[in-house]
């Protein structure tokens, strides 16, 4: 293990919101706290100020822009890596990974950064996605993702793959957490329709993959027997998905639940929202690589009912098996929610392996092992 100060560059398309972005900021903050130099390259976004405030440096490059012109960044990026004396290049998305890899390949092997990729999703299988399996270390965010890599990318050396689950801070997400009185006052003032209601929350960007139609059907099925419930959809719709948001609002009206369902748009206070909820839902039509919001809700002691596939299935098996539903089975979803709402179901405590500190320590250790392997003239290999 090396003890010198590392310069680490993390690269992703933007810093707006989402699990990839939050994980990037958490690793960046940990690097700074451990005395290392943390650089992040993205097109920017609402999280940049926080990143800089926590001691990292941000470089605004359009590395995620889907245009042939993005290839023009390869040469400048190669010079940037050399000038900044980057020790570790950590890429978290496919298009930036291609730009980074092409820049990295053109550098002398003895002096170029060590290359780390994190596979954050079930990418479509093919040459474009394969770039995420070609790091000197490949981080899989769950056992499910590691299995997906083994099944679909036989050229990926299993010795380079390490499972590092995303983690959360147990000091911030704990069963006895309660929002501040000021937050509660603001929440009640903003959403008076929630008064006296049990909230069922679905969080995530407004896209077809998140299962919003199933959520609307669930609220419609429950409203007669559970008149005290109210559905809450937390997440933003970008310009491309505004027609889909209108479609959802029309569906809610058609099913008679427009008054039982609220779309809040983007919120930066999911912890507080989850803590005042009766039930959190995860209904993605495609498996989630990890399911961070599911873990956050469970750690707060809030029951979660979810389609049990991908990383979410792993989390439910560990903390709340009662919330498992076969993907796409609406009838089972409705009955499971009725059962959970009728009982006194509580999730199991947060496992140590899913604490934030473990993720941060394992990620930094991966960086350090890569650099140490170069100094010894060897390669990094993980026992499987």
Q: Hey, which residues does 114 pair with through a beta bridge? A: 88
Whole-number average pLDDT of the chain: 94
Question: What is the reported pLDDT for 178?
Answer: 96
Query: Domain 181-352 adopts which CATH fold?
Result: Rossmann fold (3.40.50)
User: Please, which pLDDT band fits residue 377 given cuts at 50, 70 and 90?
Assistant: low
User: Please, which pLDDT band fits residue 68 given cuts at 50, 70 and 90?
Assistant: very high
Please give the average per-residue pLDDT across 182-202, as a whole number.
97
Q: Give the residue from 195, 190, 139 showing the smallest Cα distance to 167.
A: 139
Within this chain, domains 7-167+355-375 and 181-352 share the same CATH topology = yes
User: Please, which pLDDT band fits residue 384 given cuts at 50, 70 and 90?
Assistant: very low
Q: What is the pTM of this model?
A: 0.85
Q: Where are the domains of the chain?
A: 7-167+355-375, 181-352
To 10 degrees, the CA torsion angle through 57, 360, 13, 246? -120
Query: Domain 7-167+355-375 adopts which CATH fold?
Result: Rossmann fold (3.40.50)
Given a cut of 80, whether residue 269 has pLDDT beyond it is: yes
- Residue-wise pLDDT for 135-183, tens only, equals 999 999 999 999 999 999 999 999 999 999 999 999 999 999 999 999 9
Question: What is the reported pLDDT for 164?
Answer: 96
């Amino acid at each position: 293990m090396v003890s010198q100060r590392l310069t680490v560059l993390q690269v992703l398309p933007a810093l707006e919101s989402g699990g990839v972005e939050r994980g990037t900021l958490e690793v960046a903050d940990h690097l700074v706290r451990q005395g290392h130099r943390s650089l992040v390259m993205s097109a920017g976004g609402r999280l940049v100020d926080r990143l800089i405030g926590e001691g990292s440096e941000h470089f605004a490059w359009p590395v995620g822009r889907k245009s042939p012109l993005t290839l023009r960044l390869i040469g400048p990026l190669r010079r940037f890596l050399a000038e900044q004396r980057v020790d570790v290049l950590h890429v978290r998305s496919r298009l930036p990974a291609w730009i980074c890899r092409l820049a990295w390949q053109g550098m002398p092997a003895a002096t170029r950064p060590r290359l780390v990729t994190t596979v954050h999703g079930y990418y479509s299988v093919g040459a474009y996605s394969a770039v995420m399996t070609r790091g000197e270390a490949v981080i899989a965010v769950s056992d499910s993702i590691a299995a997906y890599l083994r099944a679909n990318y036989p050229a990926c050396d299993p010795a380079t793959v390490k499972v590092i689950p995303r983690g959360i801070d147990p000091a911030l997400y704990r069963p006895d957490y309660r929002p501040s009185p000021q937050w509660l006052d603001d929440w009640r003032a903003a959403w008076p329709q929630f008064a006296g209601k049990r909230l069922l929350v679905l969080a995530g960007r407004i896209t077809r993959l998140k299962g919003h139609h199933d959520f609307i059907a669930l609220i419609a099925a429950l409203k007669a027997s559970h008149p005290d419930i109210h559905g809450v959809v937390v997440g933003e719709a970008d310009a491309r998905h505004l027609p889909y948001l209108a479609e959802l609002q029309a569906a809610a009206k058609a099913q008679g639940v427009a008054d039982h369902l609220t779309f809040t748009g983007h919120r930066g206070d999911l912890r507080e929202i989850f803590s005042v909820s009766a039930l959190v839902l995860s209904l993605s039509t495609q498996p989630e690589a990890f399911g961070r919001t599911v873990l956050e809700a469970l750690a707060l002691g809030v029951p979660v009912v979810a389609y049990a596939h991908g990383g979410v299935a792993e989390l439910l098996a560990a903390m709340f098996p009662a919330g498992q539903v076969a993907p796409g089975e609406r009838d089972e979803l409705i009955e499971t929610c009725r059962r959970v709402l009728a009982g006194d179901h509580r999730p199991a405590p947060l496992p140590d392996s899913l604490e934030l500190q473990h993720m941060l320590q394992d990620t930094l250790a991966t960086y350090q092992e890569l650099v140490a392997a170069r100094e010894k003239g060897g390669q990094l290999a993980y026992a499987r």
